[in-house]
Amino acid sequence: MTTREIAGKNVQVNEEGYMTVPGEWSQEIAVELGKEEGIPELTSGHWKIIEFCRLNAETTGNAPTLRQITIGSGVSTKELFTLFPKGPAKKVARISGLGKPEGCV
């Protein structure tokens, strides 16, 4: 584990850049991580997915998979890829301050 400063706050991250302490997450951190992931602005559509993922992780203890996100949030796979291009489950997990979803290589 290592410490990294994001949005003026020191947070714990793993070697892949995923936050390891979900309680350290904030919306300001999400905005900065979104920019790093190539998403210049988080819209209401992004926040709907982020909030779903954080609530799901509180219940299950893990970041949700792509299938869990689409089923649980009601957002289609196509829309999810539009909001979070090239690996939406990984991107949304990282932006949401969660670990890498299980099953993602």
101, part of any domain: no
Q: Which of 7, 21, 71, 104 is catalytic?
A: 104
CB 82 within 8 A of CB 49: no
Q: What's the structural domain count of the chain?
A: 1
In order of 38, 58, 83, the CA distances from 52 in angstroms are 21, 10, 14
> Taking the model in full, what pTM does it have?
0.92
Domain range for 64 is 26-95
Q: What is the pLDDT of residues 18-50, one digit of tens each?
A: 999 999 999 999 999 999 999 999 999 999 999
Q: Quick check: is 5 in a domain?
A: no
Catalytic residue list contains 53: no
Average pLDDT over residues 69-74: 95
Residue 8 lies in a domain: no
